Structure 1
Amino acid sequence: MKQDQTPRIMIIDDDKGVIHTLSRLVEKMGLEADHSLTLTQGMEKAATTRYDIILLDVRLPDGNGLDAIEILMETDPPPQVIIMTAYSDPDGAALAIESGAWDYIRKPASPKNVELQILRALQYQEQKRQSEQLPKFDDSQIIGSGKRIRDCLGQAARIAGSDANVLITGETGTGKELFAKAIHRNSRRKDHDIIVVDCSVLTDNLIESVLFGHEKGAFTGADRKRHGLAKLADGGTLFLDEVGELPESIQSSFLRMLQEKKFRPVGSSKEIHSDFRVISATNKDLDAMVSRGRFRRDLLFRLNSFTLPLPPLRERTSDILDIARHYTDQFCRQNQVPPKEFSQDFEETLQHYDWPGNARELVNTIDVCVASTFQEDVLFAYHLPQSIRSKVTRMANTPAAAPQSDICETPLFTRDEKLKDVLEKTEKAYLETLYARVNGDIPQLCHISGISRAVLYRKLKKYRVH
């Protein structure tokens, strides 16, 4: 294992005996050990010192270790977090893994098992460091510097070095086609074309002809031989946009084409060979479609050798102003008008809107703003579409988004209730109201309430809010 310095491990546990035992184990492995007896102290150290691995207890005097995982994952570079707890909690174990933990270990754990997990985590980190030294990835068309989008770009860079098929998932407008083209542009196939197929507009009677081509006279109107898109992608990439819309009638023949890289044009008796890579994109849940018999399981397996999930814009709010500024400057240049400044209320409205249409909606909004203000130097919130300003204003003035001092104007407790019970009752009412208002949208719940996803899941479970 190649390291510029000795790997540093921090142990966060309130049991001094556990601290002593784990510290000796870590030092015996030739690694550097540090420790904290409280979560607060541990988080303060993690914010200022780089740790390769953090061994984290769950039940600490000043908090729950599970709540800290997502915060630790936001550091750059993030440590590998190994949860170590004496309590059995299946939901907590699942939450830890979903939040990014390396593993979840029950105490007392054998020294051999702890040592094995530490070594594996360090080996993973070393491999990741080496993979990040790949040739520079051209991401010039993808705007954003937040952690979520940087993680996606890092994954895309690793995918570009392979020739395996890729499935890009995400809501409409998250940039699936931009990522597909970036992967192609950085792959060994970059000197050949990327052929885009919009599966959502292909009808059953045309799709075979469009994909596989046809011979002259194969059907009415086929007055000459025509190559299909699969042949045009020879040597390059075939990008299947909205692959979830691929008609069931052609999924079988399409699977065969992927497996053998051969197909037969409509009206031909001869097979044609074409060497292409497939990148697919969808905003649908293909696993659910497989369960309903709407999509072939074997085709899904063939398409998703790699899966690249893209986050919605509401989960990467730090990128909103970067995208807005980039496209404002671009549209000003295209229209030959001077650059424009953003007022504070314009920026705040952009950041508080939830962008259901994601980056595509934001870009279209900026295009409209620039087109309607050629003679103006500053963009104000008033220049934004009324629908956006109305929604942001409504959210800012609903009870669930109001300060706590405004929420409880009516007494919610009786004279004999304890403070703890009153706070829990108020918290439950707040979460129930907010959950209903955003229709259970977890990212929105986190954004409005200001609490982490891990804490939110625990509170929803505690109060049975669903």
Structure 2
Amino acid sequence: MTQPRVLIVDDDAMLRDALQTAVEQMGCTADGAGTLKEGLAMAEAGDYDVVVLDVRMPDGSGLDCLGRFQECPSNPEVIILTGVGDPDGAELAIRSGAWSYIAKPPTLNKIRLPLQRAIEHHRGKSKLLPLGLKRSGIIGDSRAVRRCLDLAAQAAVTDASVLITGETGTGKELFARAIHDNSARADEPFVVVDCAAMPEQLVESQLFGYERGAFTGADRRFEGLVRQAHRGTLFLDEIGELPLAVQKSFLRVLQDGCYRPVGGVKEVRSEFRLVVATNRDLDAMVEQGRFRQDLLFRVRTMTLNLPRLKNRHGDIALLCRHFLARQCRLNGLPAKRISPDYLDALESYDWPGNVRELLHAVERSLAAALNDPVLVPAHLPTNIRVSLARASVPNREPSVEKPGAAGDEPFPSLKEVRLQAVAEVESRYLRDLLAEAGGDIQQACALSGLSRARLYALLKKYDLP
């Protein structure tokens, strides 16, 4: 096996040389770069196991480039190195996929263990993934999706409980099914429970079943969804909606594998693999007394955080073509083409409803196109066209120029105007959000639906306190 290769990206030449020496003493090959541009070029050309990346670089922030290093051909693990104590930056780095976050000065003892483990993980990662991973309907080839598929594959080879988080429409059920389809339980049942769709008074009887005559209308015995998942996978969608009383009963099922149906006298056993999903902040719900902490610990053995569609770079066009081809096939329509400006419009929209909203937009476009052979922006749903139109108009006071006078600045491009408008709207929204939440980050996350890491990233982007 070849020697592990490590790239150290730091503008401090003395520190960089010292780290290279220390890494070489560990039996690795070490290279150094003094700028992000140089480091990215080396990472693109070289086969590195690990990149040790400083945050404050002369040509930008290491955190902003973390994803670009991860996307390099060898998909290296990234260890973030910084001289500035920043807990929010540490959280953002870890949530973005960094292997670890180390404060300067990075003594040999401090960096040796994370570096060794990062190398071992990188070299053993491919062995964890099952050959011919079944995607179970998951479309996308962005780095964000590939990382989620890697985590799903790792989860599939264990029986650990998995918590899948993400906004509505990001594909939580598809990833849950992929975990099941690639596991040793693939030939057993995959039982879906939509906790948000069940009336509170019926949740217990639906989960645990009931005996005949247990309550009015119980004219027959019902086995229950937990029992139906025996030897297979039980998927609890929107687990945050599970009533507290049922959470306690369900926790006992996870601990002992036993439960008693409503109206029953004998206990029933069920052995299943648990996957749960939510778009809620379960930690905040625990603090508010709306979700049991002990249950959260049990369901969060492994966590899979699905990205927003807007952050899946390159996947929008891929998904659009897939959905369009499928809808044409299902409706017996001739294949339609997609205009470049239609794709530009899709890329410019924010997609609050994520993949599900994109699917509906393509369906609506197909219906609006009728016999037109090519989809164009005018075929998009009205709400999307309105949003794009508003974003394209600069939010500034009209100015009056003297007749015949030319403006001092060149006329802006549409892209510049759109970016400026989005920045102004986001900045204003964040100020209003912080004011409404009284500066409380947890409350701001609950109000906005943003994750803590995403909110911190936006606050940093707009230099807000």
TM-score interval (norm. to shorter): 0.7 to 0.9
Secondary structure at the counterpart of residue 249 of structure 1 = helix
Change (3 A) 1:304 1:24: closer
Is residue 68 from structure 1 mapped to residue 70 from structure 2 by the alignment? no
In the TM superposition, what are the counterparts of 1:320-399 in structure 2 within 5 Å?
Answer: 320-399=316-395
- CA shift at 1:151, angstroms? 0.8
- Tell me how far 1:178 sits from its aligned partner: 1.2
Q: 8 Å contact 1:198–1:242 — kept in the other structure?
A: yes
Give how far 1:190 is off: 1.6
Query: Matches of 1:250 and 1:91 in 2, distance apart?
Result: 35
* 1:12 aligned partner: 9
Match of 1:199 in 2: 195
Aligned to 1:31: 28
Tell me the secondary structure at the aligned position of residue 200 of structure 1.
coil
Of 421, 426, 435 in structure 1, the residue corresponding to residue 427 of structure 2 is 435
Q: 1:362 & 1:430 partners in 2: Cα distance? A: 20
CA distance in 2, matches of 1:322, 1:222: 48
* Aligned twin of 2:176: 180
Is contact 1:337–1:374 with CA below 8 Å preserved after alignment? no
Matching residue of 1:313: 309
Task: Tell me the amino acid that sits aligned with residue 427 of structure 2.
Answer: Y
Residues 204-260 of structure 1: per-residue CA shift (max 9 Å, x gap): 322222112222211112222221111222222222111111122322112112222
- Is the contact between residue 99 and residue 454 of structure 1 (CA under 8 Å) also seen in structure 2? no
- Alpha-carbon distance between aligned partners in 2 of 1:459 and 1:346, rounded to the nearest angstrom: 29
Shift of 1:138: 0.5
Alpha-carbon separation, structure 2, partners of 1:131 and 1:116: 21
| Counterpart residue number, 1:130 | 127
Query: Match for 2:348: what amino acid?
Result: H
Corresponding residue for residue 228 of structure 1 = 224
Offset of residue 156 of structure 1: 0.7
Alpha-carbon separation, structure 2, partners of 1:17 and 1:186: 48
Q: CA deviation at 1:382?
A: 0.8
What is the RMSD of the two structures over their aligned residues, measured on CA atoms?
3.1
CA distance in 2, matches of 1:239, 1:141: 17
Instruction: Give unpaired runs (5+ residues) of structure 1.
Output: 401-408, 412-427, 443-451
**Alpha carbons 1:204, 1:249 under 8 Å: kept:** no
Partner of 2:47: 50
CA separation in 2, counterparts of 1:175 and 1:376?
31
Amino acid at match of 2:24: E
Partner amino acid, structure 2, of 1:219: F
| Helix, strand or coil at the partner of 2:236 | strand
Q: Alpha-carbon deviation of 1:320? A: 0.9
CA contact (8 A) 2:191 2:229 kept: yes
Deviation at 1:31, TM superposition (A): 2.2
Matched residue, 1:416: none
Alpha carbons of structure 1 residues 440 and 264: separation in structure 2 relative to 1, 3 Å: same
Per-residue CA distance 1:80-132 (angstroms, 9 max, x = gap): 33344555555555555454443444554433444444323212222323223
Matched to 2:159, the amino acid is D
* Residues 75 and 269 of structure 1, relative CA distance in 2, 3 Å threshold: same
- C-alpha change, 1:26 and 1:454, in structure 2 (3 Å) is farther
Shift of 1:142: 0.7
Compared CA separation, residues 38 and 318, structure 1 to 2 (3 A): closer
The one-letter amino acid of 1:55's match is: V
The C-alpha deviation readout for 1:367-401, integer Å capped at 9, x for no partner, is: 2222343423111111111111110121122349x
Shift of 1:50: 2.6
Name 2:437's counterpart in structure 1. Answer: none
Does the 8 A contact of 1:317 with 1:351 survive in 2? no
Structure 2 counterparts to residues 152-191 of structure 1, below 5 A: 152-191=148-187
Query: Would the alpha carbon gap of residues 123 and 440 (structure 1) be closer, same or farther in structure 2, given more than 3 Å must change?
Result: farther
Query: Distance in 2 between the 1:248 and 1:318 partners?
Result: 41
Structure 1 equivalent of residue 448 of structure 2: none
Of all paired residues, the percent bearing the same amino acid is 46
Shift of 1:191: 1.5
Alignment check: 8 A CA contact 2:10 2:16 kept: yes
Q: Distance in 1 between matches of 2:210 and 2:425?
A: 58
Task: Give the distance between the partners of 1:436 and 1:250, measured in 2 at CA.
Answer: 41
Matched, 1:289 2:285: yes
Q: Confirm whether residue 81 of structure 1 aligns to residue 73 of structure 2.
A: no
Relative to structure 1, is the Cα distance of residues 329 and 297 closer, same or farther in structure 2, using a 3 angstrom cutoff?
Answer: same
2:423, 2:429 → 1: CA distance?
10
- Counterpart CA distance in 2 for 1:169 and 1:6 is 37
Residue 169 of structure 1: CA displacement?
1.1
Q: Is the 8 A contact 2:180 2:186 kept in 1?
A: yes
What letter matches 2:282 in structure 1? L
The 3-state SS of whatever aligns with 1:278 is: strand
Structure 2 CA distance, aligned partners of 1:85 and 1:276?
Answer: 44
- Looking at structure 2, the residues matched to 304 and 87 of structure 1 have their Cα atoms a distance apart, in angstroms, of 31
Displacement after TM superposition at 1:75 (Å): 2.1
TM-score of the superposition, structure 1-length normalised? 0.82
Question: How big is each residue's C-alpha offset from its partner over 1:132-168, in whole Å with a ceiling of 9 and x where there is no partner?
Answer: 3x23220040111111111111111111111222221
Deviation at 1:65, TM superposition (A): 3.9
Give, in whole Å, the separation in 2 of the partners of 1:52 and 1:410. 51
Q: How far, CA to CA, are the matches of 1:36 and 1:282 in structure 2?
A: 42
- 2:210–2:223 CA contact under 8 A, matched in 1: yes
98 and 141 in structure 1: CA distance in 2 versus 1, 3 angstrom threshold: closer
Q: Deviations over 1:163-196 (max 9, x none)?
A: 2222211111111111112222222222122122
Q: How many residues align?
A: 426
**Equivalent residue number for residue 141 of structure 1:** 137
The aligned counterpart of 1:420 is none
C-alpha distance in structure 2 between counterparts of 1:325 and 1:254, whole Å: 42
Which secondary structure does the structure 2 equivalent of 1:27 belong to?
helix
2:136–2:181 CA contact under 8 A, matched in 1: no
